[in-house]
Amino acid sequence: MMAKAEGGKMVCVTGAGGFIGSWVVKELLLRGYAVRGTARDPSSQKNSHLQKLEGAKERLSLNYADVMDFDSLSVAFNGCEGVFHVASPVSVDPRLVPVAVEGTKNVINAAADMGVRRVVFTSTFGAVHMDPNRSHDTVVDESCWSNLEFCKQKDWYCYAKTAAEMVAAEQASKRGIQLVVVLPAMTLGQMLQSTINPSIRHIADFLNGSRKTHRNAVAGYVDARDVARAHALVYEDPKAHGRYLCIATVLHRSELIQMIRELFPQYPITCNKCEDSKQMVQPFKFSNQRLRDLGLTFTPIKESLYNTLICLREKGHLPPYSSL
Ligand SMILES: NC(=O)c1ccc[n+]([C@@H]2O[C@H](COP(=O)([O-])OP(=O)(O)OC[C@H]3O[C@@H](n4cnc5c(N)ncnc54)[C@H](OP(=O)(O)O)[C@@H]3O)[C@@H](O)[C@H]2O)c1
């Protein structure tokens, strides 16, 4: 095993205060690393949760860095042996594509300039499954890539992340950086941060009365703690290379809503009907074997969903029952 943080080896996590970034920081601190996190506003109250993590006082520092500001990245990566590039806009706004793509190019180049050895890039399942020509029988695995033209028509977030992953691979190979990629599905679980992020909003929207119908669609899901462990595992195992699909299960929206109903029976679910009367979309087959081979055990999604719901309620993101 490589780099198990003996002697407090220093790594940097971009987007440290976000949902996945915070879990990656927590996991790395628990494993003994000295962690430098980046945020665009490190002194903001929205990043204060990081200081409460175990080991943070002794081994966590926060730096300003914007992925479009090359110099800020260089300063943040100075002295680090590894970088976890988590930061990215999570948005379908096409104007933010350059932030994801150019930002990733900047990260790889700044890392290479500063002598960083290994970069873990947080891609997404959206860089895998957006392919209109994939047959329903195909087992979705790391060999699958989203089709950029199809993404342009359907989802600019998937476009941005697919293009960013391609740029990361190209630049890393040019600059001699070891690149390993984690591709999480829709990530659920407890939020360490106080603000709500888009994948948790996906769940909250079923409970806040804003939706009356749900889509006839399926999605892949995974627990935030498993995503964080996956980042650490691919970093630490010297044999790890290429892409790692991080997905625990596939659920149709109706199954997800039924699970929420069972876990939270006291809460009225306003979103009861499918938006069309077509045949139910069937789940696709997938493989998470590569991560299981590295030793990752996936958390049952019901547990992740339970933690999401409790956290939404505790942090005040759900309306009182009476207002629904
Ligand atoms: N949650 C999921 O379901 C999921 C699934 C697959 C992949 N991912 C990927 O995981 C990563 C984190 O997403 P998340 O779910 O944790 O969402 P999030 O909480 O919104 O985190 C996004 C992070 O990106 C940072 N960021 C955005 N624009 C930036 C810029 N110009 N420069 C520097 N940092 C910037 C934000 O930093 P500030 O704090 O400075 O705003 C924030 O920390 C993203 O790469 C996303 O594509 C997420």
What CATH number is given to the structural domain containing 19?
A: 3.40.50.720
**Domain residues for 243?**
10-317
Position 73 in a domain: yes
Closest Cα partner for 111 from 45, 176, 20?
Answer: 176
Strands 249-252, 218-223: pairing kind? antiparallel
Residue 248 contacts residue 223 (beta carbons within 8 Å): yes
Residue-wise burial string across 3-39, b where 16 or more C-beta atoms lie within 10 A, e elsewhere:
bebeeebbbbbbbbbbbbbbbbbbbbbebebbbbbbb
For 67-95, how does the pLDDT look when each residue is reduced to its tens digit (9 = 90+)? Answer: 999 999 999 999 999 999 999 999 999 99
For 129-144, how does the pLDDT look when each residue is reduced to its tens digit (9 = 90+)? Answer: 999 999 989 999 999 9
Q: What is the pLDDT of residue 1?
A: 39
Q: What's the pTM value of the predicted model, to 2 decimals?
A: 0.97
Q: How confident is the model at residue 2 (pLDDT cuts 50, 70, 90)?
A: very low
Specify the higher pLDDT residue, 272 or 31: 31
Position 2 in a domain: no
Position 123 in a domain: yes
CA–centroid distance, 15 to ligand 1, in Å, is 6
Our mutation pick for probing the ligand 1 site, out of 14, 20, 77, counting the most ligand atoms within 8 A of Cβ, is 20
For 150-195, how does the pLDDT look when each residue is reduced to its tens digit (9 = 90+)? Answer: 999 999 999 999 999 999 999 999 999 999 999 999 999 999 999 9
Number of domains within the chain: 1
CA–centroid distance, 324 to ligand 1, in Å, is 30
* Of 154, 161, 273, 302, catalytic: 161
Please report the atom of ligand 1 found closest to the CA of residue 187: 3
* Residue 161 a catalytic site member: yes
